Structure 1
Amino acid sequence: MQRRTLLAAAGTGLAAALTGCIASAGDGSDDADDGNSTTETTPDPTPTPEPVEAVSVATGERLTAVVGNGPASDDGALKPHHVRLENPTDEPWTARIDVSRPLGSGHVETYELAHDATVNVSLRVPADYELTVTDIDSDAAATESVGPDSFDCNRSWTAFSPGDDGISVSGASTRMACGPNTVAADGAVTVALGDGSLPTEAVKPHSVAVSNPTDAAETVEFAYETPAGAVAFGGAYRLEPGARVGASLTEVHKVTLRVARRDESGEEATETVTIEESQFDCNASSTTVSLTDDGGFEAQTLSTLMFCGDIEANETNKSN
């Protein structure tokens, strides 16, 4: 059960008394007009911090949050990576967790964990993540990074807990040997990347996929990268004939897809396509990088090619 509680930090500022004398004009004192009288001002008291709203987690309770809509699943061949807050101490621990990723919403929340309470954040999309946990009482913080390589057939996790010198960080994984995640013949894996602001009446999402139209299963390595070089979705997949793996871009954002495959001799072939912001309009559109029988790639972009007009002007007129 989730409960919220307000944790207010104690105010440390009290109003100080005025010290010294302030001479008043015409009070008859000898010091009133000597030019040496002073006025001592009192500094503002230290403001009381705003209360911190936190989700309370009771002893023995375990809360779970999910980031991303797949393709990893707890029972699948590709497992999610878990981020945990754990409190093995006897005292309550209040911590703020911030899980961010290059495209799409992450998870930001403050929790008050009782003894032996746990919060688990399940990361479903193999990507680059930045994990930051802050101790509310001490302001101590710890930051860790997770990348696509942390997602395979093993169960893996990164755990944060209160420590003597701030926040303790640990990580572990099972040790099974894992091959590339397999997409069955004529099957598809698709994830959503972005803030979900698309579709609108004027702008549609753009789909970007890697497809295997050949008669043989092939293993590909791919990465959807932002202009800053962060991986929004990536990994190694074995694509059976007719299989495809891709993403729907649900916000107007520049994204580069990099794909690689190796032949029997180990020689690598690569393909790079970039989706510019100008490619997002009223049309349904997609870009597909297809494997070819000769070990290479063929990239193709399709669109319904409707005339979209002046989208910005249309939106302005509609709002008026």
Structure 2
Amino acid sequence: MTRPRAATLSPQRFAGETVLGRKRRARRMARVLTETHPDAHCELDFSNPLELAVATILSAQTTDVRVNQVTPELFRRYRSAADYAAADRAEMEALLRPTGFFRAKTNSLIRLGQELIERHDGQIPGKLDDLVKLPGIGRKTANVVLGNAFGVPGITVDTHFRRLTNRFGWVDEQDEVKIEFLVADLIEKRDWTMLSHRVIFHGRRVCHARTPACGACTLASMCPSYGAGPTEAAPAAKLLKGPRARDLAVAAGVDPDLVPAAAVPILEEDAAADAPASVPEEA
């Protein structure tokens, strides 16, 4: 693989930043994200590695909210790799229909069950090389499973992570694998899994795809893309989302009363607006 490109920064901010300077800035931003999003976590519901792998496969081209609505019944009916391997296709398709691309996802889950039985004694393996050979699992899904089910550090590059790392000037790249390796060079390995969650939280709650809340962002002084959204406190505060929207305003030095109650929930439509345009490889 050719080495991915480093970030090309805006000439207005951080002009002439060195590689070392970028690493130091990225780590400062990562520390601020830790303080900004203490509640960051995997937003897919699961209780074991198999459930997490299944939920992550289902999350392609849909929202975590929608997946979490479907998986309780799915996990009740299918408790093991053998259950998925022997699943009735029509029955599973009916369960998965709300997640979109339900035929492809049903095929992936049935094949996943069969491969786990044949190669791994029905268990989800805990190594990247083994995971990516399984049906429906690419590097993104593998890193989600490793980081959240096995405690193995991994960087999950979803649409939010790709967008924000480019906006942050950490990378100038759209390829997910190249972004993973570039960010791995900037951030300490022990922090990879939680960094992924924090960046994703920030993308869903503050740094939106269409209009980021620049004037209510704790990263404003370190971000070369500051100004892509409103920089005034009042309009920016109205863009904050999530149950901690007012806390996010306070952290950014903004009056929390500027956050209207109607702006607090993260709506499913908001998340869908950030969904990738095509079905990821692991779907």
TM-score (norm 1): 0.18
Considering fraction of residues, name the structure with more strand. Answer: 1
Larger Rg: 1
When the two structures are superposed, what TM-score results if normalisation uses the length of structure 2?
0.20
| Bigger helix fraction | 2
Higher relative contact order (CA 8 A, sep 6+): 2
